[in-house]
Chains A and B, each alone.
Chain A
Amino acid sequence: MEYLSTDKILVIDLNAGQVEEDELDESLVEEKIGGIGITRYLYDKYRQDDPIVIGTGLLTGTTYPASASGQITAKSPVTGKVCHCPVIYKLGVEIKYSGYDYIVVKGRSESPVYLWIHDGVADISDAADIWGKNVWEATDELRTFVGDDLLQTMMIGPAGENGSDYAQVCFNHWSSPDRFGFGKLFGAKNLKGLAFRGMGLIEIAEPEDYVEQSLEILKQVKENDFIQKKGLAQILSALGEEDVVEWIQPVTHRHSADYFTPYATNTYLFLDEESGLLEESKKEEPGVLVSDIYALLGFKKAGLSAVDAGRALKACAKYGIDPFAVTQLSGKTTLDEIKDCFDSIKGEIEIPGKGLFTPWCPTGPIFNDFDLAGEDETLAWWERRQAVSMIFGIQPLFSLMCPELTEENMLELASLGTDLELTQEILDAVIDDILG
């Protein structure tokens, strides 16, 4: 596969300690397009090895607005279903530029390992020095070891090592959309995590048209009122939780966006620092980056102050546990109790619809109404929108805001980018396959 692709699938066998590379056949892209279309295909191909399949969308890391995300497809140890978790922040892009479109991790290692994937090279590395460390320590240690602070990681903490049901795979230092207990799966495979770094180059079949069309779409996106807003509190406010805005404001530092995403979906809370500080903080760990709107809301509803909610979120991110599961299943209402309860989280959280996509995303539109009527239509729209976002690699919260990102223009850009004829019929078939 020549365009919008690294042309490479990595297959890592943890049992044998071996790394193999396959080419990404153009015919597979013609049939499954990309993202979860292909991670699901690869999951089925290697099903007997209980694989974790990591991938990127066909448009990930390009100039298409919000082309930020990657995907993890695996069987949830909590629900028993094959689920798809979006990879957010700058990590999805780093995966593609590190040299692989898809990574299959199969089997189980005898001893703890991590995978170091950089510039088209992949190593299975001994994780003895980082096993037992929390997510922050492990990420910092790998960055120091490699000598690159821009190393992007997927990492588990003690929760995943201890086999907690709601162990989360975290991204760099931060919580992720993983509500499926994928952290437990990593732990069961003796896989501490993955580290990515890459400076690759992605070719485009029709570069000028691709970039021109991207800008046309971006101009339409910028007509939205939400372009004046930033951060999590505004999203929650639009979803009817207006109180969050005032509650969180005193500890809000800045808002940041995932790669090429026109809305800043991440909010940084300063917990041990003046929130108005502009200079670099002298404290090593002054706060926490939050992307999980429902975990934030859950801690508020439990009666925590904004500072304590931030501290609870930080503790969850270090321990590598889903903070939303903590809010829903622990019944705890003070910070100390919350920090003490991580190993005892049990129970079920509801995964909407067919149970394939994460309720980290609101199950309806944000800021715009998308002309939807009724709960059933909204849920069906949501599942389709999630599937489409994760086929093409679109930031999943942003795709719920932005009607200008259409299936039609994603297909148009995918065709311009690859020189393949990718049609609505193909996309419909891929979605049907995913939704079952």
Chain B
Amino acid sequence: MGIKINALKCTNCMACEMVCSYHRDDGFAFLSACIVSYRAKEKKDYFGMMLKEEDVLVVARPEGLEINKIGEEADPDKEADASAKPMLLREGCDLCEDMDDYGPMCVAFCPVDAITLD
């Protein structure tokens, strides 16, 4: 079981990022999210999602999915943007196993259902 992201449906609202961080921090922040919207290329309107799983970094680009094994991907500049770098230090997706009432928070809160449980 895992998280599936439809980057073309995504509207770059950051709701998933906020609730993912909340499930770890118990406060509102963006610090600990293992799912983030990359949005640094706003002048080109190029945005999508990144998800850190235990061993891989999933980059959901508009043109398709890219899966990078963590450790083998040495050049963070090759990632969607600078957010990839701090993400590598964060804990991987645990499918919100401690959030009994919700299940995966990002799935529950994505307003346009761009994230689903696979």
The one of A201, A257, A286 that contacts B28, using a Cβ cutoff of 8 Å: A201
Residues of chain B lying within 8 A (CB to CB) of residue A73 = none
**Distance, CA A325 to CA B26, complexed state (A):** 45
Asked if A61 and B28 sit within 8 Å, CB to CB, the answer is yes
The 7 closest A-B pairs by CB, nearest first: A262-B111, A149-B40, A268-B45, A257-B11, A257-B13, A278-B63, A201-B29
Interface residue? A51 (CB, 8 A): no
Residues of chain A lying within 8 A (CB to CB) of residue B29 = 97, 199-202
Asked if A63 and B109 sit within 8 Å, CB to CB, the answer is yes
Contact mask for chain A residues 253-279; partner B; CB cutoff 8 A; 1 contact, 0 none: 111111111101000101000000011
Q: What's the A-B contact tally at a CB cutoff of 8 Å?
A: 117
Asked if B111 and A221 sit within 8 Å, CB to CB, the answer is yes
Contact mask for chain A residues 288-305; partner B; CB cutoff 8 A; 1 contact, 0 none: 010000000000000000
With contacts A149-B82, A173-B42, A260-B15 taken as known, whether A211 is within 8 angstroms of B22 at the C-beta atoms is yes
Contact mask for chain A residues 169-191; partner B; CB cutoff 8 A; 1 contact, 0 none: 00011000000000000000000
Asked if A287 and B31 sit within 8 Å, CB to CB, the answer is no
Residues of chain A lying within 8 A (CB to CB) of residue B18 = 61-63, 260
Residues of chain B lying within 8 A (CB to CB) of residue A285 = 43
Interface size on B, residues (CB 8 A): 37
Interface residue? B2 (CB, 8 A): no
Residues of chain B lying within 8 A (CB to CB) of residue A268 = 45
* Chain A to chain B contacts (Cβ below 8 Å), 21 pairs: A61-B18, A63-B28, A149-B81, A149-B82, A172-B42, A203-B27, A212-B101, A218-B111, A253-B45, A254-B62, A256-B11, A259-B15, A261-B13, A264-B11, A270-B45, A279-B63, A281-B45, A284-B43, A285-B43, A287-B45, A289-B42
Residues of chain B lying within 8 A (CB to CB) of residue A284 = 43-44
List which A150-172 residues lie within 8 A (CB) of chain B: 150, 172
Interface residue? A215 (CB, 8 A): yes
Contact mask for chain B residues 58-85; partner A; CB cutoff 8 A; 1 contact, 0 none: 0001110000000000000000011100
Asked if A90 and B14 sit within 8 Å, CB to CB, the answer is yes
The one of B15, B19, B31, B46 that contacts A201, using a Cβ cutoff of 8 Å: B31
**Distance, CA A359 to CA B112, complexed state (A):** 28
Chain B contact surface mostly: loop
Asked if B28 and A256 sit within 8 Å, CB to CB, the answer is no
**Distance, CA A150 to CA B42, complexed state (A):** 9
Q: How far is the CB of B46 from chain A (nearest CB, A)?
A: 4
Q: How far is the CB of B6 from chain A (nearest CB, A)?
A: 13
Q: How far is the CB of B20 from chain A (nearest CB, A)?
A: 11
**Distance, CA A120 to CA B109, complexed state (A):** 29
Residues of chain A lying within 8 A (CB to CB) of residue B41 = 149, 280
Residues of chain B lying within 8 A (CB to CB) of residue A215 = 102, 108-109
Asked if A256 and B47 sit within 8 Å, CB to CB, the answer is yes
Q: How far is the CB of A320 from chain B (nearest CB, A)?
A: 16
